[in-house]
């Protein structure tokens, strides 16, 4: 594990630099953000090519839409608002402590660690990095070993754009990632599976490092009784099949009324034929990231059918292990105890679950761990409000999928097993800041009365305070 000593030395240098320049001014932070933006904008074609090669195939348009655009939009948002975010803020002062005054001073935490998954390697690097830099921090980024071409390219780009004590990229295998998580960061953000999240949190706990965990789970899509059915099917399939389902907030199962199940399957097949004609050779359809992940998805389908589920192919294409292309498939009549209903799918496999009333659908969602995302389709505000009030999820999009993650003014994060903490926009700035509380005592104040010896005057003051 030859990278580890270098990694530790790099961390020490970064921490020393952060302590020397504890609260950098806005012009320093803005310069770092602008350099980050130029890095993305000037190299987005090369980045897309590297990501596509890592996947075997991922269309450049998908990378541009899902990674490059939101990365640049998030940086632009920070550049527009960051100076205001870092201002000292007034805070109210209790009546008994006036004419003293209270303030909150945002300050950088110091050195932030960011652990990035393979599925959206650019965006899930740039998003948290933007928040960390806007807040005035230094940052170390651990990229995934499943995207070696992107990881190597991004490391080179960062090395050219930033000083080693500003931003640094660490590459390596799972052993390096484990060592990375043990560094005494001032904050550690991890994006990945819930299982690995447990290990990251345990490693961080040894240093009392605060963590933000962006995990996963089974995100439901509910088609309500008054939904625009055909449109709902299309938007669910679009959200599911972008990146071949390898998206943490992709719909993981769909809830439809019992008498609409077959209609859903028929509409889904028509939709796929429009979105991805000749899917076996269609360059717009993304490959599965690795043979291990491909085999897992095939095993998931096989286990479900062996337990009595029906696999409903949405195309005539067959799985291609060599190209790691897995055509989309629905699963119906799925037993609740099979892998497809117990684990996050992370691929183009979509279980269809039926319900009789919207209360049944809500109950089905609530009987399971709280999801990272929830989607509800219905024209009735009452139905939507009922689902919103009676369910808890990391984030929600109504009458579409995925779009809540692209809103810079909406915090992004999970709840319960799907994660803890939030970032994006101002929420990200505050996650990577210490809002230091400051009380300014007034020259004329009553504090001198609240001290020993505790005589009659003190008792009189105490009666006033406790009435």
User: What is the rounded distance in angstroms from the CA atom of residue 303 to the CA atom of residue 32?
Assistant: 49
The length of the chain in residues reads: 467
Short-list 190, 120, 245, 238, CA closest to 414: 190
Q: 214 an active-site residue?
A: yes
Q: Which residue has the tokens 């530790």?
A: 8
> By the 8 A CB rule, do 366 and 391 touch?
yes
List of domains in the chain: 3-215+415-436 (3.40.605.10), 220-406 (3.40.309.10)
Q: Does the annotation mark 271 as catalytic? A: no
Each of the 467 residues of the chain gets a pLDDT tens digit; together they read: 334 558 999 999 999 999 999 999 999 999 999 999 999 999 999 999 999 999 999 999 999 999 999 999 999 999 999 999 999 999 999 988 999 999 999 999 999 999 999 999 999 999 999 999 999 999 999 999 999 999 999 999 999 999 999 999 999 999 999 999 999 999 999 999 999 999 999 999 999 999 999 998 999 999 999 999 999 999 999 999 999 999 999 999 999 999 999 999 999 999 999 999 999 999 999 999 999 999 999 999 999 999 999 999 999 999 999 999 999 999 999 999 999 999 999 999 999 999 999 999 999 999 999 999 999 999 999 999 999 999 999 999 999 999 999 999 999 999 999 999 999 999 999 999 999 999 999 988 888 778 898 988 888 888 888 98
Among the listed residues 166, 214, 234, 344, the single catalytic one is 214
**Residue 306 CB contacts under 8 Å (≥ 6 apart), including other chains:** none
DSSP string, 193-246: -HHHHHHHHHHHHTTT--EEEE-----EEEE-TTS-HHHHHHHHHHHHHGGGG-
Q: What is the DSSP letter of 153?
A: H
Give the closest residue to 414 by CA, choosing from 197, 207, 206, 223. 197
Coil vs helix vs strand at 363: helix
Neighbours of 379 (CB within 10 A): 12
pTM over 0.85: yes
The catalytic residue among 67, 234, 248, 344 is: 248
């Amino acid at each position: 594990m030859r990278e580890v000593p270098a990694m530790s030395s790099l961390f020490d240098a970064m921490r020393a630099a952060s302590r020397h320049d504890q609260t950098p001014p806005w012009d320093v932070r803005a310069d770092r953000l602008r350099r980050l933006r130029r890095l993305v904008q000037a190299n987005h074609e090369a980045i897309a090519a590297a990501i596509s090669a890592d996947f075997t195939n991922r269309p450049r348009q998908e990378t541009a839409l899902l990674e490059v655009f939101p990365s640049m939009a998030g940086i632009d948002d920070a550049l527009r608002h960051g100076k205001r975010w870092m201002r000292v803020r007034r805070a109210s002062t209790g009546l008994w402590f006036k004419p003293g005054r209270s303030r909150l001073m945002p300050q950088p935490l110091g050195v932030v660690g960011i652990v990035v998954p393979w599925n959206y390697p650019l965006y899930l690097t740039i998003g948290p990095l933007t928040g960390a830099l806007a807040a005035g921090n230094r940052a170390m980024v651990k990229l995934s070993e499943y995207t070696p071409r992107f990881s190597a390219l991004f490391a080179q780009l960062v090395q050219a754009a930033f000083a080693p004590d500003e931003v640094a990229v660490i590459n390596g295998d799972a052993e390096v990632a484990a060592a990375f998580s043990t560094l005494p960061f001032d904050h550690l953000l991890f994006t990945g599976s819930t299982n690995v999240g447990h290990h990251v949190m345990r490693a961080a706990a040894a240093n009392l490092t605060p963590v933000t965990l962006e995990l996963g789970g089974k995100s439901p899509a509910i088609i309500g009784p008054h939904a625009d059915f055909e449109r709902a099917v299309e938007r669910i399939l679009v959200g599911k099949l972008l990146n071949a389902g390898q998206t943490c907030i992709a719909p993981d199962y769909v809830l439809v009324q019992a008498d609409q199940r077959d209609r859903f399957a028929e509409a889904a097949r028509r939709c796929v034929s429009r979105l991805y004609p000749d899917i076996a050779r269609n360059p717009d359809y993304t490959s599965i990231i690795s043979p291990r992940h491909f085999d897992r998805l095939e095993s998931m389908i096989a286990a479900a059918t062996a337990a009595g589920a029906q696999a409903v192919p949405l195309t005539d294409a067959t799985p291609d292990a060599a190209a790691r292309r897995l055509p989309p498939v629905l699963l119906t009549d799925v037993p609740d105890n099979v892998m497809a209903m117990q684990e996050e799918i992370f691929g183009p496999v979509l279980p269809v679950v039926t319900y009789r009333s919207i209360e049944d659908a809500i109950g089905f969602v609530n009987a399971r761990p709280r999801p990272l995302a929830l989607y509800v389709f219905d024209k009735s505000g009452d139905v939507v409000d009922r689902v919103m009030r009676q369910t808890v999820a990391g984030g929600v999009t109504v009458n579409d999928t995925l779009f809540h993650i692209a809103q810079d003014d909406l915090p992004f994060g999970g709840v319960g097993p799907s994660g803890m903490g939030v970032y994006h926009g101002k929420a990200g700035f505050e996650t990577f800041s210490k809002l230091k509380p400051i009380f300014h005592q007034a020259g004329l104040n009553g504090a001198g009365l609240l001290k020993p010896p505790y005589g009659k005057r003190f008792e009189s003051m105490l009666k006033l305070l406790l009435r």
